[in-house]
Amino acid sequence: MTKIERKTMKEIRVLFTGGGSGGHTMPAISMIQALKKYCLQNNTKCEILYVGSHNGIEKEIATKNEIDFVSISTGKLRRYFSFKNFSDIFRILKGFFDSLKIIKKFSPQLIFSTGGFVSVPPVVAGKMKKIPVIIHEQTVDAGLANKIAAKFATKICLTFPESKKYFPQSKTLITGIPLRDEIFEGNVEVAKKRFNFDFNQPVILFMGGGLGCHILNEIGLQIIPNLLDKANIIFQTGKANDGKDFVEMQKLYESLTPDKKNKFALFEFVNEEIGDIYKITDLAIARSGAGTVNEFLALGLPSIFIPLAIATNNEQLKNAMIMQKINAAFIIEENNLTKESLLKTIDEILFTDKIKTMKKNLSNYENVFGKNNLLNLIVDILNKKII
């Protein structure tokens, strides 16, 4: 990371918030890692606190990364009528008062939010306490939580220029998305030893995200035995179907012949292996959250996307179209996803010249890496606040 020259600060105290999915959580984790590294380089004390929901994926991820975490009450912000809207109002109000107490105790100099329902109470409370607030929008189609939080934000940071229409132009910046360091740290030789595949054949990565993709897992169970005749497979099931999908995939693995077992790697979650996995992947089949799309863009990874059909305003479809527009990805919408349609698309890409064209198109794409842009902004605001 490029060293950022600023006046030396003795202490940095930043409250991070955001969650509900890995797409909201991982950018926050990435920026926490970047800020800690900056503080270490500049001999600055760094105090970080992550505020999330009681049962969200952000709690698990923050804990795994040894980040101080505290939870608040939260409710869903629905755009449609539901009786739950009435009870959730009280949960949101409790989350707001929870946030006020946390802010009073922690005394942050800055709040950094990556969206999701849990982020709204800390952002509003921070604004009331006159604390600078940065929010980051990962997707093309802005989420409701960030649209609300934008009214209280000091700066609004975007991944895609297409999102500008949702926010006040005077405080909006195109920064790109902060990507985790580990995706760039893979090593081909280490990866080959780790997986011991038949590398005369291509490697296909199936990845539905931390929460998993049940429909993709179901179809995977049907096509994997035949697909292993001509490719190696890395499959991440996630928590789909309350973890039952992973159990079913384990049963499939055990039923395979020894030669096919050697070509099949199964994970419920991918952690430190991700860099090595990306290094040897020829084609990825995945959901199209903003983080996933941007990682594939950064790594030049041809893809087949299965956008989440129930995503707000079809935001995953809009994310996937970023890569489809440069002919680097194919999209199969959920209602068109069958074992036949998926196998046909895999064959048309992986076993023709299309895969070379997609890789070339990705190599020509100018990607915006957001980590340093956001780090510069954080340090600028902190300097103005402290000195």
Contact yes or no for 75/92 (Cβ under 8 A)? yes
Tell me the residue length of the chain. Answer: 387
Domain spans in the chain, listed from the N-terminal domain onward: 11-179+369-386, 186-363
CA pair distance 240, 337, nearest whole angstrom: 17
Q: Is 194's pLDDT higher than 50?
A: yes
> Is-same-fold flag (11-179+369-386; 186-363)?
yes
Whether 132 shows a pLDDT value over 50: the answer reads: yes
More confident residue, 180 or 96: 96
- Residues 157-166 pLDDT 10s: 999 888 999 9
Over residues 226-253, the pLDDT tens digits come to 999 999 999 999 888 888 999 999 999 9
- Nearest 5°: CA angle at 239, between 233 and 240? 80
Q: What's the whole-number average pLDDT of the chain?
A: 91
Residue 115's pLDDT band (boundaries 50, 70, 90)? Answer: very high
Closest to 22 measured CA to CA, from 30, 14, 10, 32: 30
More confidently predicted of 141 and 257:
257
CB atoms inside a 10 Å sphere around CB 128: 13
Tell me the C-alpha distance between 315 and 185, whole Å.
Answer: 29
Interatomic CA distance for residues 159 and 68, integer angstroms: 26
DSSP code per residue over 190-219: HHHHHH---TTS-EEEEE--TT--HHHHHH
Average pLDDT of the segment spanning 188-216:
92
Q: pTM higher than 0.85 for the full model?
A: no
**173-112-310 Cα angle (round to 5):** 80
Q: What is the pLDDT of residues 303-356, one digit of tens each?
A: 999 998 876 678 899 999 999 999 999 999 999 999 999 999 999 999 999 999
Topology adopted by domain 186-363: Rossmann fold (3.40.50)
What is the spatial distance between Cα 75 and Cα 262, in angstroms, rounded to a whole number? Answer: 45
| pLDDT on residue 240 | 86
pLDDT above 70 (res 1): no
Quick: pLDDT tens for 54-76.
988 899 899 989 999 999 998 66
Position 312 scores a pLDDT of: 64
Query: Looking at residue 2, what is its pLDDT?
Result: 43
Q: How far, CA to CA in Å, does 129 sit from each of 50, 52, 346, 381? A: 18, 19, 53, 16
Which CATH number does 11-179+369-386 carry?
A: 3.40.50.2000
Rounded Cα distance between 295 and 287, Å, is 12
**386 pLDDT tier (thresholds 50, 70, 90):** very low
List of residues 6+ apart from 193 with CB closer than 8 A: none
For the beta sheet containing 264-267, the strands, ordered from the edge strand earlier in sequence to the opposite edge, are 264-267, 232-236, 203-207, 283-286, 303-305, 329-331
**136, 113 in Cβ contact below 8 A?**
yes
